[in-house]
A and B are shown apart, each in its own frame.
Chain A
């Protein structure tokens, strides 16, 4: 047992840091620091810089553009990019549909889609949830009926993040309505330009426009866009959701937010002195830091176990801990960051990414604090709610 990074790992970390310092455009980094939302171009710019370097999809098999890094290096890379902070790659392509395609897709699909995901030529969104299918995802109703060379798809998807930018959507659709509910589902890739697709925004409580409803009316999808076998889509979805969980702890991002909290709490005054000198505040911060340090070690244990087991494609059920604690910590830190602003968290800025960027109230860094807190209530809901994660642990780990 040796819990230190090896010299090679430390050298790798320095290499990543140097790359970030030299290559991430400063205005993108500043937006990240300020908690502003990325627009499409920011993410495209950064993804192409990474892809140029060969680092856009580190965890993919090397034949599809992966780096061949062991899980520890992948973790170091993830952590360093989050801490810097650099934008995270578009998960729907890189972490979700990409691995499904290279694991279950055919050669033509791999060739067509994987390079475009790595370079963010194709912007993907996720068509899983429906109005009647949330935690009980397998009760989804969107229908795909085979007619000759096409499926005809009808239904409604919801909570579709960044669908407004999307070129493609991967959808779970019901292909056999008579089968038991998990058995009649298929995994389809759908071009967002296909006639019959309508995207309507859902404004979230922070005022943001991240998520959407997607309506599908008589959408014709070529049969070659089916991934794997018809009616096996649930297996691919479980695989995808497992991958989602391992990347969800966001340790580096929470570290960056804690540094930001310390920095800003030194500027904001409370009872005639900087807030950071307030004992109660410091204790709350220390309490979150302990959780985060423990979670960092938990993450490393999961990473090390993955490395040892080799890539089985199956996530460690213990990774549900990462989701539960990771989301709790993200929520605690966004709350603390809002508290730092005191009354200056109050003003609501109506300008969004598409409109005016004018911030009428000082200090300018206060504007995103309350929306950040509101927005991050999502993290214990998405990716399998924390209660669903507890069901998974109870069953898969504790055997209850």
Chain B
């Protein structure tokens, strides 16, 4: 067992952190957010030049064969910067779907475009009534010659507006909550019958409501039995999301500890008060536990044991959800009034942390899912 980064991993982390330090300060981020796209095209290209887009793909597909550890490094750094670019949507979710379900032709066509930054993807899985259930799918897919036609509504599609292509979860058979009869489909985001309504999200990012009316689509993987692939995509996204949350939480912790040392009341730095110290320690303990469970999720992210993998992701998502709330709420509280202002960074981290909990299932959802299984400590 070895928790150290390799030299290459350290280099990756250092160069990304340097780029973000130079280009993602609080004011710079505000400027990026004000861009009509909601992010910086310049930063997007910089990531591509660094090879971040190619990172998690196999070499034969045009990637750099990075492991989940490299993805963890990247996501933690992006989290610390509160980066707005659709990296997660395109590379982790879209790329994850291609890896899990794409044919060799589809991969050969699309992965090089992801790798060079020219293609943006979004995963359209959530619907008005699906909540966090991946198998709740009302959007219909019907056969049309060699292809398919999709009709339905998708909600809160992350970066759905920026995407060039959409990966849509749709039903080819069965009732709306059947586990069978679900497929992944690839559509052109500007195809006839696609209507996208983009909007800002609570954490400064972008999402879209997407309506599909008889839209031409090609299947990604088995159109009748796509749920296992979708689960794999989402499991594969939870570890990176957890890593992002570590960046977010660490930044909140550092801001808060600095503030406790600097802010004076009653003639002393407020960090001298034990009641505040203990809250700061609660934050620290929560972060370290979240970091540990993130390492566990990262270790399990590409496991082929679907059951064990899912259990690990449930555990990680539940832990970062509850830990993130401890860190975020205490960070605001310990900053006092300043923490409440839009002009100060800590609130923006808090908002991102809070929204991470609403993605792919909150801590209650994952705790319940974990509780249905045989536990994390089956005889090993």
Contacts and interface: CB of A to CB of B under 8 A. Distances in A.
A400 B271 contact: yes
B377 A259 contact: yes
Contacts of A390: 277-278, 281-282
Contact of B315 (A259, A289, A321, A398): A289
Nearest to A305: B3
A393 B289 contact: no
Interface stretch (A184-192, A280-288, A345-353): A280-288
Interface string B123-164: 000000000000000000000000000000000000000000
Interface in B274-305: 274, 277-278, 280-282, 284-285, 288-290, 292-293, 295-296, 298-299
B271 A293 contact: no
Contact of B3 (A5, A9, A301, A394): A301
A11 to B, nearest CB: 14
B372 to A, nearest CB: 7
A289 B375 contact: yes
A5 B1 contact: yes
A348 B118 CA distance: 72
B352 to A, nearest CB: 21
A286 B280 contact: no
Given A297-B296, A390-B277, A3 B375 contact: no
A4 interface: yes
Contacts of A290: 293, 315, 318-319, 367, 370, 376
A245 interface: no
Interface residues of A, number: 46
If over half of A's interface residues share one DSSP class (helix, strand or loop), that class is named, otherwise mixed; here it is: helix
Contacts of B372: 282
A400 B260 contact: yes
Given A293-B315, A390-B282, 10 more contacts: A1-B9, A2-B1, A283-B368, A290-B315, A294-B290, A298-B292, A301-B295, A393-B285, A394-B280, A398-B257
Interface of B: 1-6, 9, 69, 257, 260-261, 271-272, 274, 277-278, 280-282, 284-285, 288-290, 292-293, 295-296, 298-299, 315, 318-319, 367-368, 370-372, 375-377, 379
29 contacts: A3-B295, A3-B299, A9-B1, A72-B1, A279-B371, A282-B371, A282-B372, A283-B368, A283-B371, A285-B375, A286-B318, A287-B318, A290-B293, A290-B315, A290-B318, A290-B367, A290-B376, A293-B377, A295-B289, A298-B292, A300-B3, A394-B274, A394-B278, A398-B277, A398-B284, A399-B257, A399-B261, A400-B261, A400-B277
Interface of A: 1-6, 9, 72, 255, 258-259, 262, 279, 282-283, 285-287, 289-298, 300-301, 304-305, 308, 318, 321, 324-325, 387, 390-391, 393-394, 397-400
